[in-house]
Structure 1
Amino acid sequence: MTAPLAAVERTALLTAALRAAETSRPDRLYDDPYAAELAGRIGPELLAEVVRVTFPPDRPSDLPSTPDYNAIRTRFLDDRLRELVDDPTVTQLVLAPAGVDSRAYRLDWPDRLRWFEMDRPAVLAYKEQRLAGRNPRVRRLTVPADLTADDWEERLTAAGYQPDQPSVWLLEGLLYYLPEERVRQLLGRIRAVAAPGSRVLADLVNETALTLPSMQNLLRVFADWGCPWVFGTDDPEGLFAAYGMTARAVQPGDPDAHYGRWPDPVPPRSEPGVRRVFFVDAECR
């Protein structure tokens, strides 16, 4: 019997439920045969709440499509991670936090790669229980650590991570749950243990997404779960630049992140008052 998951940790089960739903579609953008098992009973219940507010039965939806967004985010990051680790100098990849992500199991990776999954012990234990008997396709190393704790760097290096070697980091579905001070602390700490040439992938929302009236029903769902969205930025490039990283940000619906599935227009970055999501690819200088 594993320990219960905290509020933010439970959102990983929502992501798994979304990936299970995507896998069932004939026009799916990826296959995740582990997602339904990882979602468990709770994941579909969380997804049902999100769907109810996203697609109200009595009026047209004015919210972004969470299923389409999650499908595009997953596929975009799948593709980008595989492109980055094709570089023969990259020997380590860090999921921070790991959640119940199954990329180590469902995708092929180079033999040289060491795959670090860092998360709180309860999350890692839940995942081990759900995937018992399944073998990852990469050398997977778990790091029980809280990203808000003082010692996660020591725990990561004790597991075999080498700060002087290039690495790839994935911060998926995390930063909007953290206050700005903690976002900045985390980016600074990652940069301190990431060698020049390392890459950091992340997703972010802008400030407007947190305040628009049309977003409030969806944001209230997360707040009621105990994990409100509290951070957004209209300048993701500037945010990462402050910590020695050169970033490129794209939005779902841009040519590099569309896949024929984004249903909404993508106004230019100069247009104010628009909710936005950014996929960030940052290189450590």
Structure 2
Amino acid sequence: MAVNTVGYTSQITAGFRAVELAHNKKPIIVDHLAQHLAGAALHTALADYQQLQQAQGPGRSLRVPARNRIMDDFVLEALQLLQQQQQQQLDGDGVVQVVHIGCGMDTKPWRLQPLLHVHWFEIDQPAVMQLKQQLLQQAGAATATAPEPGGADLGSTTAGSSTASLAQTAAASDGRSCVAPAAADHEQQQHQQGVRFPLLPQRYSAVPADLAMVPLAACLQAAGFQQQRPTVWVAEALLYYLPLDVACELLRSMRALSGAGSCLAATCIDAELQQAHLRLPSQHYFSTNKVAWHFSMDELAAAIGAAGWRMQGQPQTAAQLARERYGRETYVALYGGAECCFTAVPG
């Protein structure tokens, strides 16, 4: 199946995770699904890795897998805090939500634990989600979680579903929350069904949507999203692909849908990387005639407050965080620059 540039770049990202696992003695991230999602982009990722080794020496981790690991940990830390807060409350069922916008070929719902009492939403363009579902199924990965016993399945929509069919699913539900079995039982049930890579959240929804055409709220609510619940929003390698005003409008939409305790984990390129992008040769997969990187971290930091978010601390580069958190050095992109990671809360 042909896929657009957005899909191809997300496959390159999967390719970098696969190369990191296969060729680094101490991989910074372990993702056994990545090679199945990378497709032909795996060869591009390997060629980049070999060039980096020649230019900067062996033994470092690739920067994209380092960023993936950092974002994984941001999400897990946020979920653990939210679930601790939920457990202290006497009302409610403790379910929290994760919404990963522009998920591409990321595999967090198949590799992060613990995810009990989590409803995980993945959103990307329909062509990307369709390809991802196909590749996941070919790899033996689960693409849907079990429906609630005796009730409608709100959390197991597939990439082939239209927004209208998602709305019908939501309308047909009785509104109850799905309470999962213990995490070990949840995984065991999928393994017994011949699933090689089980889904780890309690509920999972793949949401195919072009957010330039359909409002974020409509896409999510049709898939079972509940605005009153605390939500961890993930915008990894996404925002700077949008014009700054469009990115801020998306952030405002996320803020409007955020229940108490919600937070955002996101990335943005620094000014050096933004400028380096303009100098890439036309045949490069990130060249400006294929993709556009519209703004830098400095510009986003100045605008994010007006979109309803307050950054927690200062953004740090993936290289800085990999060194501080994991004691690992990372390769610098051959074209220079870095990507910054940050968290934010409604403010």
Change (3 A) 1:173 1:220: farther
> Partners of 1:223 and 1:194 in 2: how far apart?
35
Aligned residue among 5, 8, 17 for 2:6: 8
Task: Name the amino acid aligned to 1:261.
Answer: R
TM-aligned CA deviation for residue 96 of structure 1: 0.3
TM-aligned CA deviation for residue 164 of structure 1: 1.9
Aligned to 2:327: 260
Say if 1:146 and 1:152, in contact at 8 Å, map to a contact too.
no
Q: Within the alignment, does 1:166 sit opposite 2:230 as a pair?
A: yes
Which aligned segments of 4 or more residues in structure 1 are displaced greater than 6 angstroms?
Answer: none
Q: Within the alignment, does 1:39 sit opposite 2:106 as a pair?
A: no
Aligned to 1:30: 29
Q: Within the alignment, does 1:101 sit opposite 2:106 as a pair?
A: yes
> Between Structure 1 and Structure 2, whose CA radius of gyration is higher?
2
Aligned residue among 289, 297, 317 for 1:251: 317
Q: CA RMSD in A?
A: 2.9
Residues 120-160 of structure 1 show CA distances to partners (whole Å, capped at 9, x for unaligned) of 22211111111113231112111111122233321211111
Superposed, 1:73-84 pairs within 5 Å as: 73-84=67-78
> Partners of 1:281 and 1:6 in 2: how far apart?
29
Q: Within the alignment, does 1:141 sit opposite 2:140 as a pair?
A: no
Identity over aligned residues, as a percent?
A: 27
Which consecutive residues of structure 1, in runs of 5 or more, have no partner in the other structure?
266-273
Change (3 A) 1:145 1:210: same
> Partners of 2:99 and 2:223 in 1: how far apart?
11
Aligned to 1:217: 280
Residues 176-219 of structure 1 show CA distances to partners (whole Å, capped at 9, x for unaligned) of 22122221221112112122421111110123322259x72379
Task: Name the amino acid aligned to 1:283.
Answer: V
Aligned to 2:241: 177
TM-aligned CA deviation for residue 85 of structure 1: 0.9
Which consecutive residues of structure 2, in runs of 5 or more, have no partner in the other structure?
87-94, 143-198
Residues 229-248 of structure 1 show CA distances to partners (whole Å, capped at 9, x for unaligned) of 22213154433222221113
> Partners of 2:283 and 2:41 in 1: how far apart?
18
Partner SS for 2:318: coil
Say if 1:72 and 1:257, in contact at 8 Å, map to a contact too.
no
Residues 49-107 of structure 1 show CA distances to partners (whole Å, capped at 9, x for unaligned) of 6458x6496xx56xxxx962112211111111111111223610011012111111122
Say if 2:266 and 2:341, in contact at 8 Å, map to a contact too.
yes
Say if 1:29 and 1:71, in contact at 8 Å, map to a contact too.
yes
TM-score, normalised to structure 1's length?
0.82
